Amino acid sequence: MKDVALPPLLVEPGPDGLTVAAIQKRGVPLFHVRLSLPAGAACDPRGKAGLAQFTADLLRRGTQRRDAHGVDAMIEGMGAQLSVDVSLDECALGLTVPAELSAAAVDALLEVALLPSFPEAEVTQTRRRALAALQADLDDPGTVAARAAIAVGYGEDHPYGHPASGFRRDVETFTREDAAAFHADRFRKRGALLSVAGRDDPAQLLRFAQDRLSAQGQAWPRAAAKDLPLPGPAAHHAQMRAIVVHKPDATQAQVRIVSPGISRQDPRWAAAVVANTALGGGFTSVLVDAIRVDRGLSYSVSSRLAMGRHAGLSVFSSFTKNETLRELVDLALEKMRAYRGTGPGPDALAKTRTYLAGLFPFGLEAHESIAENVSDCILDGLGLSHLATYRSRIASVSEDAAREAAFALSPGREGAQIVVVGDAEVARKALAGLCPIEIRPLE
C-alpha cells in the first residue's frame, strides 16, 4: 500500500521553544485546538505521585478572570467539553467547537492553561474528590490491575512507575502551593506545542493561532524551569513473580503479564509494532487465537506495547473465571515463549503488515486524532515523516527484524511479572508451583 498523503499542514517551531502546528481539515465545519505541555505524570515530584493530574484537574476550577462556574459556562456554552489528558510525558488540553467559535475556543484554552488561580476552597474540594475517586477505583478490577502493572513493571522508583491519579498517601498531602508550584514549573513554553485543525488553509490557521497567542499568551512564563532527568528503562527482574491483589467475592480474575518494552523513540519501533500485533493485536493474533478462539477461556486477550517517550512496557492482558486461571496463565506463557523463538512466520508477517497499513489512515480522520498524532510525533522528536512514511516503514519490516523484536520484547520472557486481581485464596491455589506469590490487600 502506498504511503498516505497527510492533510495540508504547517509546523513552526518558535524561538522560545513553543511549537505551533496548523492542520487543514476539510469536511464537517468544526475546529479543534490542542495544547500539549511537558507536565505529565513523570514530572510528579518524589512523594507527590498524582500531582500532575491534580494540577490539571484544578485548571478549570477557577482562573484569574472567572470562577469555576464561569469557566464551565465559557467552555460548555460553546457546545464543547474540555478534554484533559495527563499521560506519562505530558498534559494535553483539547477543545472542539463549531468553526465559527474558533477564536473563542483558543482564548478559552489558553486562559485555562495559563491563568489558573487555584482557589483554596477548590483545592480542598478537588483533593477530597480525588481521594473519593481513588477509593471508587478499587471497585473496578481492570483499573486495579492496570495500576498495579505500572508500578510492578517500571518499578516504584521509576518516573513512570506510578499511575497518573497517584496514591492515596500522596494525594492526601497536596496543597495549593504544590499545585501552583507545579504549574509554574511545568506549564512553560519550552517543550509545549499548540496545534489547531480547521477548514482554513494552513498558512491562515497558523497566523490565526499566532495572533491568538499574541493576544492571550503574555502570561506565559518565559523562564525555563530546570529540566528533569530523563527516565531510564523499565525495571528488570531476574525472576518471575506473581503479585495477587485480593478482591473478595470475585468470580473472575484479571491477569496482566508485564516485561520491559521500548520507548516511542526506539529504532526498533516498526518491527516491534509488527511483532507485537502478530502476537496479541487484532482478532487473528497468536494469543487471541489460542486463548479465546480455540479454548473459549476469555472474552478479551491482548498483548500491548505501552510506550512512553523514554521507556515502555510489554503487557499481556486478559481475564478468566476463577476455575481456569492457571490454564490461562500457562497457555499465555507457553504461547509467548514459543513465539519468542519463531516470531511471526511469513504469512502472519504479511497479514500483519497489511492490517496495520490498511487501518493507519483511520487515525488521520477526526480533528482530534490528526492533531494528537501530529503533536506526538513532533514532541517525540520523530518528525512528520513518522506519519508520512508509516506504511512504507511497516511494509519494510523483515522477517528477521520481526523475529528479533519478538524475542527481545515478549511480555512473557524471563523475569516477567504476573499481576492477578481476584480472590487471593483462589489465585494462591491456582498459581502454586509456578513462581513466588505475593498477596497484597486491595488499596
Partner 1 sequence: MALDPRDFPVEEHHLANGLSIRLLPDRGLPIATLYSFFRVGSRNERPGITGISHLFEHMMFNGSRKYGPKEFDRKLEAAGGSSNAYTSNDLTVYYEDFASEALSLVLDLEADRMASLTIDDTSLSREREVVKEERRFRTDNDLDGMMDEALSALSFLAHPYRWPVVGWMSDLNRITRADCEQYFRTYYAPNNCTVVLAGDFEPARALREIERLYGAIPSGAPLPEVPTGEPPQKGERRAQVQFPAQTKAILAGFRAPAGSHADSLALDLIETALSSGEGARLKRALVYEQELCVDAHAYFGWRIDPGLFDVALKLNPGVELARAEAALWAELARLVAEPLPEADLRRAKNLVKAQLLRGLTTANGRAHTIGQMELMLGSWRAMLDLADRYEAVAATDVQRVAAATFAPHRRNIVTLVPGEQPELDPADLEKVVGDAPGLKGGGP
Residues within the interface to partner 1 (CB under 8 A) = 1, 4, 26-30, 60, 68-69, 72-73, 75-81, 96-98, 125, 128-129, 132-133, 135-136, 138-141, 247-252, 282-284, 289, 292-300, 319-321, 350-352, 354-355, 357-359, 361-362, 364-367
C-alpha–C-alpha distance, residues 283 and 356, integer Å: 13
Give 121 or 215: the residue with its C-beta nearer to partner 1: 121
C-alpha–C-alpha distance, residues 21 and 246, integer Å: 47
Distance in Å, CB of 182 to partner 1, minimum: 21
Give 42 or 245: the residue with its C-beta nearer to partner 1: 245
Distance in Å, CB of 9 to partner 1, minimum: 15
Distance in Å, CB of 321 to partner 1, minimum: 6
Give 28 or 230: the residue with its C-beta nearer to partner 1: 28
Distance in Å, CB of 299 to partner 1, minimum: 4
Give 265 or 322: the residue with its C-beta nearer to partner 1: 322
The answer to whether residues 314 and 261 touch, using CB atoms and an 8 Å cutoff, is yes
Distance in Å, CB of 225 to partner 1, minimum: 29
The three state secondary structure string of the chain is: CCCCCCCCEEEEECCCCCEEEEEECCCCCEEEEEEEECCCHHHCCCCCCCHHHHHHHHHCCEECCCEHHHHHHHHHCCCCCCEEEECCCCEEEEEEEEHHHHHHHHHHHHHHHHCECCCHHHHHHHHHHHHHHHHHHCCCHHHHHHHHHHHHHHCCCCCCCCCCCCCHHHHCCCCHHHHHHHHHHHCCCCCCEEEEEECCCHHHHHHHHHHHHHHHHHHCCCCCCCCCCCCCCCCCCCCCEEEEEECCCCCEEEEEEEEECCCCCCCCHHHHHHHHHHHHCCCCCHHHHHHHHHCCCCCCEEEEEEECCCCEEEEEEEEEEHHHHHHHHHHHHHHHHHHHHHCCCHHHHHHHHHHHHHHHHHHHCCHHHHHHHHHHHHHCCCCCHHHHCHHHHHHCCCHHHHHHHHHHHCCCCCCCEEEEEECHHHHHHHHCCCCCEEEECCC
Give 137 or 233: the residue with its C-beta nearer to partner 1: 137
Distance in Å, CB of 153 to partner 1, minimum: 23
* Strand 193-198 with 252-260, pairing: unpaired
Give 357 or 406: the residue with its C-beta nearer to partner 1: 357
Give 213 or 397: the residue with its C-beta nearer to partner 1: 397
- Looking at residue 254, its amino acid is Q
Distance in Å, CB of 260 to partner 1, minimum: 28
Give 131 or 434: the residue with its C-beta nearer to partner 1: 131
Give 128 or 169: the residue with its C-beta nearer to partner 1: 128
Distance in Å, CB of 363 to partner 1, minimum: 10
Closest CA to 370 of 4, 7, 1, 2: 7
Distance in Å, CB of 282 to partner 1, minimum: 5
Distance in Å, CB of 227 to partner 1, minimum: 33
The answer to whether residues 237 and 151 touch, using CB atoms and an 8 Å cutoff, is no
C-alpha–C-alpha distance, residues 128 and 144, integer Å: 20
Give 32 or 310: the residue with its C-beta nearer to partner 1: 32
Give 284 or 392: the residue with its C-beta nearer to partner 1: 284
Distance in Å, CB of 44 to partner 1, minimum: 22
C-alpha–C-alpha distance, residues 256 and 143, integer Å: 11
Give 155 or 343: the residue with its C-beta nearer to partner 1: 343
Closest CA to 20 of 211, 242, 274, 196: 196
The C-alpha cell of 173 is what? Answer: 498531602
Distance in Å, CB of 259 to partner 1, minimum: 25
